[in-house]
Structure 1
Amino acid sequence: MFIRAGSGYARRAGPEGVDVLAFRNATHCNIALRGEDENSWDRMIEAFRDRAALWEGERVPPSELPRT
């Protein structure tokens, strides 16, 4: 997917998370994290709390784990 500079975009991770690989041709970049509303931030916090221990022990990106 190509996204022009200055354009906004969003992702929604599934239960296994998301891997993002970004290529930029600049020495500086901005990242703005915006929740749709307070509930969005609550869901992110809950996901972090629920999966933090699992993420700590991961040695490969989620995209390379076998599907269950």
Structure 2
Amino acid sequence: MGGNELAELRTAARRLRTSLSGLMACAAASYRDCLTGQHDIVIGLPVVGRTGPRELAVPGMTCDNLLLRIERQG
């Protein structure tokens, strides 16, 4: 993906008052809905298990998998 496409996605996310990752999660759920016809979708998102600057400075990877359930209505 080029810089122009990324800039357009960021602009769309701001316009929709969400984050870029939120926009991409919804896009993935919509795509999955189109492929499968299933309107109740669960996707897994990796999230950082560290919250502060001190914890972020510790070497090594720690993350959790957050399950996000998206149900399309209508």
TM-score normalised by structure 1 residue count: 0.27
TM-score normalised by structure 2 residue count: 0.26
- The structure with the largest helix share of the pair is 2
- The structure with the largest strand share of the pair is 2
Q: Which structure: larger Rg?
A: 2
